[in-house]
Structure 1
Amino acid sequence: MSPSFPGSPDKTRDTLLPKLVPKPWIPANAPPLILRDTLVVDPANSVILDGRYDITMEGGLITSVCPTDEKKTLTSTYAPEELESPPVVVNVSGKFICPGLIDCHVHVSAVPGVKTMSELVQTPEELVHLRSTYVLREMLMRGFTTVRDTGGASKALATAISEGLITGPRLIQCGKALSQTGGHADFGPTKSGDSGCCGGHSQSLGRTCDGVPQVLKATREELKGGADFIKVMCGGGVASPTDAIETVQFTAEEIRAVTTTCTQMGNKHTTAHAYTDASVLHAIQNGVRGIEHGNLVSRDTAKLLTPHTVQSMAEKGIFLTPTLACYGIMVRPPFEDFLPPEGKVKNEQVMARGLDALKIADEEGVTICYGSDLLTSMHALQTEEFTVRSSVLSSPKVLQHATTNAARMLGDSKLGRIAVGCYADLLILDANPLVDVTVLDYPEKHLFAVIQGGRVVSSRLYGLPEEKRR
């Protein structure tokens, strides 16, 4: 008979049992949630469904969307003994239920705590990781239940969110963006021993690679690390120190090395940072399937009428993610000193034609997605993109950018709509975003609750409590 010591398991400690598993932070199943008397927003068809509906959520998915006037008995598919608590039933009294928003161009590792681009690229990695948890939580509270990080986030961070260790949106990530030396993600010294105009090298957003062998290795390493897609810097950028906007980056052979590898290793999506006609065409002609920004594209480029093809961007299935609000934000108080003088010149250059490019792309039928591309404390203005785009496009079209179109680009039919089998990612609003999409730019006024995967992560609606984390 073994001796019994103080602290030995000679009696049951039921309260500790949930914490003795390998990953004690994984939350228990949320109780079934039923929203009654809702007005359902259908972004794909730009309508509010006729009548009022009851929406049932279980296991992270929508399990029922039925007319309220049917008076159906709403029951759970779980046996009573399987439920930790009974279903939560809330009458929302005709409030609007919108699919969770999707931001397709974020940088969660471009964290607050600094005032300039120079300081940002010198932020220690550990501090970046810790501060990114704040960025992610705030994005979710603004109604973005899914985000696509285009340089900086990792598979480990995405997993931490999906397991409930960190509060944040569903995260789609590319690892590090790929840049040639002197390209848009190269913030390193301008020469050996020099501190560089930005004072150092940032490992948090991108990595440099030159020549086909290095590009192949970098692409394969990012995919091995769990990247959901690969981003390539195909042209100059605003924030980078040494490249003009007009520059075309990487050779055709280098880009094809990326796109071929992505096709071979699971048909992974590829996207390119590109502003000009030359850089956009350079990317598309070498197999890239997405364009970030595109502020300076002409109508001919949108149509993509080249000697090699008569397909348009829309027919080729090219997704465009403009980022328009960020340029005005980066130069107004309190961010007027964020960019260096040369960066402000480039910022003005791309800002001047951004709305024109958006209209051209829309008229040519290009699939347009929502992107904010904000850095540091600017993340707080993530919803301003709705207001900027609505100045030239209708509210239904802009809402599709952040729901229907984004879901198509991400290749996930469970995103961006309210239907049986879809993710239970929902927003409860007191105003119709199809009539005025700018209501999404004022979440503090119009957003009453955020539900992600059937869990209430934020609520100021009576009778709908936020989930308590154990």
Structure 2
Amino acid sequence: MSPFPGSPDKTRDSLLPKLALKPWIPAQAARSVLRDARVIDPAKGTLLDGLVDVTMEDGLVVDIRPSEDRGSVGLGVDSGDPPDIDISISGNFLCPGLIDCHVHVSAVPGVKTMAELVQTPEELIHLRSTYVLREMLLRGFTTVRDTGGATKALAVAISEGLIEGPRLFQCGKALSQTGGHADFGPAKSGNTGCCGGHSQSLGRTCDGVPQVLKATREELKGGADFIKVMCGGGVASPTDAIETVQFTAEEIRAITTTCKQMGNKHTTAHAYTDASVLHAIENGVRGIEHGNLISRETAKLMAEKGIFLTPTLACYGIMVRPPFEDFLPPEGKVKNEQVMARGLEALKIADGEGVTICYGSDLLTSMHALQTEEFTVRSSVLSSTKVLQHATTNAAIMLGDPKLGHIAEGCYADMLVLDANPLEDVTVLDYPEKHLFAVIQGGRFVSNRLDSLEGFKAAQ
């Protein structure tokens, strides 16, 4: 009872959920069955035999069985209780949710040029990133790896349901030397570049072993899942040629040693050339971003050492065509042509030498809308099966989470419903508006236009 006569009782049942410590956390995902599906196994490059029923509960896949064995209760599992959702997708395709391993969710729309992007206020970046995240999820990317800018707080907000977006792996701010790829501060004596980066929220500069140690430890303390190091020149940064090699060996070893000591955290390096790639690998870095200019010898070494490669190929063409032709400054356009010319050849070389390759888009501002174009670019030189593996099984291996990238019992119920098989033509994923009919994340339908799918049938 209220201690005040006449006051209403505000603990009535309808308000109890909102009195929780974190009232935005959603209830457990409904128990659901997707029936009569053709399930894609990217690791094997095949479909499961025949039509199958996939049961989801508490955010996981809990049962997969042939549709003909569903039994008298019409379920994918043996239970006397009917599922909350029971849908036949009538022989269409279930694909694991896609994983983009190189995004910058804080490189937000709302600006036309690189110069404007680096001046965007931090608070505005945070607000606009919610739009970027939701749109990525609706394109079928149920997991992303942010390589500079996102934070642990943002990842937690997504996991708790406060913000709608992909599962988020993040490195905090990428680490750069002064004058390196994440230093966009003014070129003047005494500039510390403390807020440098693609924007104020994407990177930080540190010089010398003490500063590097402090920066690495601060990012790990802040909850970074991995650490990204700028080991070579970049397209968008103003003062460093592509051929530059960045950080000293002692500085990189300080980073990689600290990551091993503080939970064996993964490290990855921005690097295009043999020199910068070898500089990173020889000093303990475990992944390479881009790698457009690598030789066969370097690719062979990467394969031998188990170094992951995340190429980002579509972005170079996107950044210089309408409506983005003025995004890069003139010197950036020259560097862009330099790396674009060799990117596909490097991809073929890495694949031929057995390097584990992951999917990456590396898009900025409104270019995020073209996130799926990487599928089409890669498929011009590699098979559809291999390209799909880049965005599913390979990515899951690099992220170290066996629940990702597969449709199997015990895995996350992150799935896409498609009307075409990406194992036969992976470019269907580049046209989600045409071929993507539902996005399921953690057993919940994020988007659903199944009623427009030919032959769709729901039974509830």
Matches for 1:129-208 after TM superposition, within 5 Å? 129-192=126-189, 202-208=199-205
3-state SS in 2 of match to 1:274: strand
Matches for 1:42-121 after TM superposition, within 5 Å? 42-72=41-71, 73=73, 74=75, 86-121=83-118
Is the CA contact (8 Å cut-off) linking 1:105 and 1:372 kept in structure 2?
yes
In the alignment, which residue of structure 2 is the partner of 1:416? 405
Question: 2:365 is matched with which residue: 369, 376, 379?
Answer: 376
Task: Give the distance between the partners of 1:300 and 1:289, measured in 2 at CA.
Answer: 17
| 1:202 Cα offset (Å) | 3.4
| 1:24 Cα offset (Å) | 0.4
Is the CA contact (8 Å cut-off) linking 2:169 and 2:225 kept in structure 1?
yes
In the alignment, which residue of structure 2 is the partner of 1:297? 294
Q: Look up the equivalent residue of 2:350 and give its one-letter code.
A: A
In the alignment, which residue of structure 2 is the partner of 1:396? 385
Is the CA contact (8 Å cut-off) linking 2:293 and 2:346 kept in structure 1?
yes
In the alignment, which residue of structure 1 is the partner of 2:37? 38
TM-score (norm 2): 0.94
Task: Give the distance between the partners of 2:259 and 2:434, measured in 1 at CA.
Answer: 43
In the alignment, which residue of structure 1 is the partner of 2:428? 439
Q: 1:404-457: per-residue Cα shift (whole Å, max 9, x none)? A: 100000011100001000000000000000000000000000000000000000
Task: Give the distance between the partners of 1:387 and 1:2, measured in 2 at CA.
Answer: 64
Q: Look up the equivalent residue of 1:71 and give its one-letter code.
A: R
| 1:317 Cα offset (Å) | 1.1
3-state SS in 2 of match to 1:292: strand
Q: Look up the equivalent residue of 2:353 and give its one-letter code.
A: E
| 1:6 Cα offset (Å) | 5.1
The reply to whether residue 365 of structure 1 matches residue 354 of structure 2 is yes
Is the CA contact (8 Å cut-off) linking 1:290 and 1:320 kept in structure 2?
yes
Is the CA contact (8 Å cut-off) linking 1:252 and 1:282 kept in structure 2?
yes
Q: Look up the equivalent residue of 1:328 and give its one-letter code.
A: G
Q: Cα 1:99–1:353, aligned 2, differ >3 Å: closer, same or farther?
A: same
Q: Look up the equivalent residue of 1:246 and give its one-letter code.
A: E
Is the CA contact (8 Å cut-off) linking 2:107 and 2:198 kept in structure 1?
no
Q: 1:129-172: per-residue Cα shift (whole Å, max 9, x none)? A: 00000000000000000000000000000000000000000000
| 1:385 Cα offset (Å) | 0.1
| 1:127 Cα offset (Å) | 0.2
Task: Give the distance between the partners of 2:371 and 2:295, measured in 1 at CA.
Answer: 27
Task: Give the distance between the partners of 2:281 and 2:418, measured in 1 at CA.
Answer: 39
Is the CA contact (8 Å cut-off) linking 2:102 and 2:360 kept in structure 1?
yes
TM-score (norm 1): 0.92
Matches for 1:234-313 after TM superposition, within 5 Å? 234-304=231-301, 313=302
Task: Give the distance between the partners of 1:61 and 1:2, measured in 2 at CA.
Answer: 42
Q: 1:170-196: per-residue Cα shift (whole Å, max 9, x none)? A: 0000000000000000001111599x9
Identity across the alignment (%): 82
Q: Cα 1:337–1:93, aligned 2, differ >3 Å: closer, same or farther?
A: same
3-state SS in 2 of match to 1:377: helix
Between 377-386 and 200-209, report the one with greater CA deviation. Answer: 200-209
Q: Look up the equivalent residue of 2:51 and give its one-letter code.
A: R
3-state SS in 1 of match to 2:292: coil
Is the CA contact (8 Å cut-off) linking 1:105 and 1:321 kept in structure 2?
yes
| 1:203 Cα offset (Å) | 2.3
3-state SS in 1 of match to 2:64: strand
Q: Cα 1:6–1:75, aligned 2, differ >3 Å: closer, same or farther?
A: farther
| 1:303 Cα offset (Å) | 1.6
| 1:71 Cα offset (Å) | 2.6
RMSD (CA atoms):
2.1
3-state SS in 2 of match to 1:367: coil
| 1:2 Cα offset (Å) | 7.7
Is the CA contact (8 Å cut-off) linking 1:189 and 1:201 kept in structure 2?
no
3-state SS in 1 of match to 2:28: coil
Task: Give the distance between the partners of 1:30 and 1:79, measured in 2 at CA.
Answer: 19
Q: 1:370-390: per-residue Cα shift (whole Å, max 9, x none)? A: 000000000000000000000
Q: Cα 1:158–1:351, aligned 2, differ >3 Å: closer, same or farther?
A: same
3-state SS in 1 of match to 2:14: helix
3-state SS in 1 of match to 2:293: coil
Q: Look up the equivalent residue of 2:34 and give its one-letter code.
A: L
Question: 2:448 is matched with which residue: 441, 450, 459?
Answer: 459
**In the comparison of the two structures, how many residue pairs are matched?**
451
Is the CA contact (8 Å cut-off) linking 1:292 and 1:322 kept in structure 2?
yes
Q: Cα 1:7–1:440, aligned 2, differ >3 Å: closer, same or farther?
A: farther
Task: Give the distance between the partners of 2:308 and 2:203, measured in 1 at CA.
Answer: 22
Q: Cα 1:2–1:289, aligned 2, differ >3 Å: closer, same or farther?
A: closer
Task: Give the distance between the partners of 1:66 and 1:365, measured in 2 at CA.
Answer: 34
Task: Give the distance between the partners of 1:200 and 1:430, measured in 2 at CA.
Answer: 41
| 1:75 Cα offset (Å) | 6.9
Task: Give the distance between the partners of 2:446 and 2:361, measured in 1 at CA.
Answer: 22
Is the CA contact (8 Å cut-off) linking 1:234 and 1:274 kept in structure 2?
yes
Task: Give the distance between the partners of 1:279 and 1:12, measured in 2 at CA.
Answer: 62
Task: Give the distance between the partners of 1:245 and 1:323, measured in 2 at CA.
Answer: 15
The reply to whether residue 212 of structure 1 matches residue 209 of structure 2 is yes
| 1:245 Cα offset (Å) | 0.3
Q: Cα 1:361–1:3, aligned 2, differ >3 Å: closer, same or farther?
A: closer
3-state SS in 2 of match to 1:368: coil
Task: Give the distance between the partners of 1:174 and 1:180, measured in 2 at CA.
Answer: 17
Task: Give the distance between the partners of 2:408 and 2:343, measured in 1 at CA.
Answer: 34
| 1:8 Cα offset (Å) | 4.7
Task: Give the distance between the partners of 2:189 and 2:250, measured in 1 at CA.
Answer: 28
Task: Give the distance between the partners of 1:464 and 1:268, measured in 2 at CA.
Answer: 46
The reply to whether residue 385 of structure 1 matches residue 374 of structure 2 is yes
| 1:70 Cα offset (Å) | 1.1
Task: Give the distance between the partners of 1:187 and 1:325, measured in 2 at CA.
Answer: 24
Task: Give the distance between the partners of 1:176 and 1:347, measured in 2 at CA.
Answer: 23
| 1:7 Cα offset (Å) | 4.1
Task: Give the distance between the partners of 1:41 and 1:333, measured in 2 at CA.
Answer: 36
In the alignment, which residue of structure 2 is the partner of 1:309? none
Is the CA contact (8 Å cut-off) linking 2:171 and 2:228 kept in structure 1?
yes
Matches for 1:220-235 after TM superposition, within 5 Å? 220-235=217-232
